[in-house]
Amino acid sequence: MRFHELVAVSEGVLVEAVAKAAGAAPDAVRQAAMMCGDLGDVASALVREGVNTLSMYSIELFRPVEPMLASPCESVSEALQSFGEAAFELKVDGARVQAHKAGSEVRVFSRALRDVTPAVPEVVEALRAFPAREVILDGEVIAMQPNGTPYPFQETMRRFGRRLDVDKLRSELPLTPYFFDCLYSEGRSLVASAQRDRFSTLAALAGSFTVPHRVVSDDASAAAFFTSAIAAGHEGVMAKSLVAPYAAGSRGSAWLKIKQVRTLDLVVLAAEWGSGRRRGWLSNLHLGARDPVRNRFVMLGKTFKGMTDELLEWQTAALLEREVGREGHIVFVRPELVVEIAFNDVQESPQYPGGLALRFARVKGYRPDKTAAQADTLQSLQDIYRATTGREAPSRRDIDA
C-alpha cells in the first residue's frame, strides 16, 4: 500500500507503530517513508536489516516522493511577517506533477504518486529538451485558454481520464507545464538545499517553463504581485521561505498559499446531522441561490467547513425551528436563513439542478441583516462562470432535470 493511501487510517499512528516496533526514531521512519513513497517497504526493510537500513532511503530517479504541501495564509502581509523576505510565485491551479528524467527516459507522476506519463506528452517533450541529463522537478500542468488565461481546474483534469484519446484531447486541450522546484540534478539530491538555491538550479534548467516568481520584502510589491496574478486568471500566489529545505510529504509553514476569496450570500435549504465530534449537531449545509425567473431556490452544493462549535450549536437550534421535513439524516428547512459563503470558483456540476457548483465552499458567517429575498441569484454564479471560463453557463433546461 502506498504511503499516501494510509493517511485516512492515520499516518502518524502507523509511523509511530513502525518506529516503536523497530526501535527507530519516528522522524527517521517518516523521512524514509516520504522518500520511498511506501511505508510498507520501509517497515519490511527494518524487520530484515534493522535501523541502519533507514540511511539508504534518499531521493532517486523514477521513485516519486510525497510532494511538499503549503499551508493557507490570509494575506500577503501576513506571509511577509512570517518570512521577512520571501519568494512570491503564481499559484497555478492545475494538476500537480513530479517529472523524472534520465537521458531520454522521462516519467511523470501525479500528486498521488501514480505514473501518468502517457497523459502528458507535453511534459515529456519539455524535459527531453532540458540541458540536464538527470533531473527531478516538481510542478503543475495546466490547460490555457486562447487568450492566455487558465482554464478551470476541472478542464485540466479532463486530460487525466481513463481510456481517453490523448492525441485528440491534446489538440483540443493542450497542457502547459510550469515547474516550481528542483529536487534532484545530475546525481545530486537537492531536498536539503535552501529554497533560493533550488530556484537557481531550476531557472537554469527549465527556463520559460519555470513558474514566474519574484523575491520581495515589502507589502506594496507583494500586493502588486498578487493583484497581477489574479488579473492573469490565477487563483492566487505562493509565498516561500528562501532558506527552507524541501520537506517531502509535509505541510508546514515554509510554503504559504494566499488565494483570492469570493463570497456569496446564499440560503440554507437543508442540513445533515453530523458524526463523530459533530454528532448531535446539524452540520453539512445544503446551499441555494435565488432563481427569480422560476421563483425558486436552486441548490449549488454543500459545505461543513468554517464552523465553530458555537456556530454549530446556534445553527442546529435555528434550523430545527425552521424544519419542514426529514429524509434519513437530512433535515429540510424553510429557506429563510442567509449565510455568507466563501469559495474559490464556480464549476460545472451535473449533480446539482442548476448545473453549477461552488468549489471549496466554506462558511464565513450568517447574515441576520438579510432576508432570503436579498440572497444572491443563480445569474450571479452564471456570470462568474462565464467570466472565468469564457464559456456559456449550463442551460436553464438543466434545472428541470
Of 230, 259, 288, the residue that ends a domain is 259
d(C-alpha 330, C-alpha 321), whole Å: 15
Question: Is 231 in the same domain as 360?
Answer: no
Of 226, 259, 292, the residue that ends a domain is 259
Question: Is 79 in the same domain as 204?
Answer: yes
Question: Is 315 in the same domain as 355?
Answer: yes
Question: Is 83 in the same domain as 216?
Answer: yes
What pTM value is reported for the model? 0.70
Question: Is 103 in the same domain as 247?
Answer: yes
Whether 171 is covered by a domain: the verdict is: yes
- Determine the residue type at 340: E
Question: Is 133 in the same domain as 275?
Answer: no
Whole domain around residue 348: which residue ranges? 262-400
Whether 62 is covered by a domain: the verdict is: no
Helices (H), 269-345: 309-320
Given 20, 91, 240, 257, the catalytic residue: 91
Question: Is 244 in the same domain as 102?
Answer: yes
Of 235, 259, 283, the residue that ends a domain is 259
pLDDT score for 5: 37
Q: Is the torsion defined by CA of 122, 126, 128, 134 positive or negative? A: negative
d(C-alpha 348, C-alpha 397), whole Å: 14
The one-digit pLDDT tens for each residue of the chain (401 residues) are 333 333 334 566 787 888 888 888 777 777 777 776 677 778 888 888 888 777 666 789 999 998 999 998 889 999 999 999 999 999 998 999 999 999 999 999 999 899 999 999 999 999 999 999 999 999 999 999 888 889 888 789 889 877 778 888 898 899 999 999 999 999 999 998 999 999 999 999 999 999 999 999 999 999 999 999 999 989 899 999 999 999 888 788 999 999 887 889 999 999 999 999 999 999 999 999 999 888 899 999 999 999 999 999 999 999 999 999 999 999 999 999 999 999 988 888 888 888 899 988 999 999 988 899 899 999 888 988 887 777 888 865 444 43
Question: Is 173 in the same domain as 200?
Answer: yes
The CATH code of the domain that includes 88 is 3.30.470.30
d(C-alpha 378, C-alpha 266), whole Å: 10
Question: Is 93 in the same domain as 179?
Answer: yes
Question: Is 216 in the same domain as 331?
Answer: no
Question: For this structure, is 240 an active site residue?
Answer: no
d(C-alpha 66, C-alpha 113), whole Å: 7
Question: Is 246 in the same domain as 267?
Answer: no
